[in-house]
Amino acid sequence: MIGLYSPGTSWIHRAPTLLKLSLLSLCVVTIGLSPNLVIVGAAAVLVVVLFVVARVPVRSAVAQIAPILLILLIAVPIQGLLSGWLIAALMASRLLVAVALAALFTLTTTVTAVLEAFEKLLHPFRRFIDADRVGLLVALTIRCIPLVADIVREVLEARTARGTQGSLLSVAVPVVVRSLYAADALGEALIARGLDD
Amino acid sequence: MSSIRFEQVGHSFGDRTVLRNINLSLTEHRIGIVGANGSGKSTLVRMINGLVAPTTGTVTVDDQNVARHAREVRRRVGFIFTNPDNQIVMPTVQEDVAFTLRRRGLTAAQIAERTVAALEQFGLREHADHPAHRLSGGQKQLLALAAVLVAEPATIVADEPTTLLDARNARRIGELLQTLSQQVIVVTHHLQLIEDFDRVIVIEAGEVVADGAPTPSLATYRALVQ
């Protein structure tokens, strides 16, 4: 979602966001509760077909799914030794399918569409919740991930350039201070763009 | 053009006086503001958009007191910051430009049309779906400009918009600012950017020390910083 949207015109791209979100939730819960490896395997095939239909570049898809493979590399042997290899395989395939489905949603849905969906979803509760504000909060949360990642990278680079290793505190303090400054500047920019109400 | 007035304006941060007794009437098309670091020039322009409130005196835009009518004023006065990273809110270029048009009573089609036009104007159309935070520094500043101009403000205030850019991108932003039909107020250290502006104001230690045509004002500034 942090700029991972893969532009396209497939029906998956065009499908209503709330429908995609509902189907995603339903599928993840169903797969999570399914005790049958065959059903999960069939779901995996379906997910691959959906990726092909959406014409998501292979590199983008792999980039989304690869991190979970690293976790599974550690989790599967442990699960296999403790609970049996069938359960380990079931756990791994469930996780893979769930992550792949979430990735498909991310790759085919813009943040704007997600915000609009949030606003629609929260519309019945408008007397209690400002849906627009919640949408803005979600957008800012997503935006802040690369912003903080950049700050961490710059602090680590500065530490390396000065030839110091230091403790975790020597990274955490400048990261927190700079993040607060960045948050202040972002808030000021939002005010300047007329989003202070 | 907007008519911006500073009347007896002063500003202090605690014991430190940043601006004192500023009286200005800004009505020209292109106005440059220069001054040393810490001279108070950024504080001065932030008052136009209501980002900073004066401690004494009043700032008005088209006879509207900025302190009392900040929201209305901000719809007419766009603000460009030094660091465009702080101005980007949405993940993709197109979404960030469209974000400005939220809550303006426009239909989705109108927002899309105006967004595409702004992206075209700033040569960002081909980057529409790209992650905004992965653009180059120059492209990010172009995006910041597009995101402000899509709202069609009457005045653009730019606080050192070229400071973080290389010479080529700084020139490009400068040329773009020159071509805008809106009133443009630019704070800068790049003097060539404002050499042919209509008016240049020099701020030193919180006071206006020169105000007029670019040539004499810039000569005063060069003498001050040498």
Identify whether A35 is part of a domain: yes
Do A77 and A161 share a domain, yes or no? no
Do A73 and A142 share a domain, yes or no? no
Domains of chain B plus CATH, in order, are 30-39+73-225 (3.40.50.300)
Do A105 and A50 share a domain, yes or no? yes
Structure tokens at A22: 């509902």
Q: Is any Cβ of chain A less than 8 angstroms from the Cβ of B51?
A: yes
Do A96 and A138 share a domain, yes or no? no
What's the mean pLDDT in B20-33? 94
Q: What is the DSSP letter of B193?
A: G
Identify whether A1 is part of a domain: no
For residue A163, what pLDDT is reported?
Answer: 73
Do A136 and A49 share a domain, yes or no? no
- Name the residue with tokens 């007029």: B212
Does the pLDDT value for residue B45 go beyond 90?
A: yes
What's the mean pLDDT in B99-128? 88
Binary contact (B102, A142; C-beta < 8 A): no
Does the pLDDT value for residue B138 go beyond 80?
A: yes
Look up the domain containing A178 and give its range.
125-192
For residue B70, what pLDDT is reported?
Answer: 87
Binary contact (A197, B71; C-beta < 8 A): yes
For residue B135, what pLDDT is reported?
Answer: 87
Neighbours of B213 (CB within 10 A): 12
Do A184 and A104 share a domain, yes or no? no
Identify whether A141 is part of a domain: yes
For residue A197, what pLDDT is reported?
Answer: 57
Percentages helix, strand, coil for chain A (3-state, rounded to 5) are: 80, 0, 20
Do A81 and A31 share a domain, yes or no? yes
Tally the domains of chain A: 2
Identify whether A6 is part of a domain: no
Do A97 and A166 share a domain, yes or no? no
Identify whether A67 is part of a domain: yes
Nearest residue of A to residue B147, measured between CA atoms: A193
Do A55 and A97 share a domain, yes or no? yes
Kindly list the residues from chain B whose CB atom is less than 8 angstroms away from the CB atom of residue A2.
Answer: 91, 131, 133
Identify whether A115 is part of a domain: no
What lies within 8 Å, CB to CB, of B26 at 6+ separation is: B2, B3, B4, B5, B6, B183, B185, B199
Nearest Cβ partner for A189 among B71, B87, B91: B87
Where chain A has pLDDT below 50, the residues are: 1
pTM for this model (two decimals): 0.77
Do A181 and A132 share a domain, yes or no? yes
Query: In this predicted complex, what is the ipTM?
Result: 0.76
Per-residue pLDDT tens for A24-68?
999 999 998 888 888 888 999 999 999 999 998 888 888 888 888
Identify whether A118 is part of a domain: no
Identify whether A5 is part of a domain: no
The sheet with strand B207-212 has its strands ordered as: B77-80, B155-159, B183-187, B30-35, B199-204, B207-212
Nearest residue of B to residue A4, measured between CA atoms: B131
Do A20 and A105 share a domain, yes or no? yes
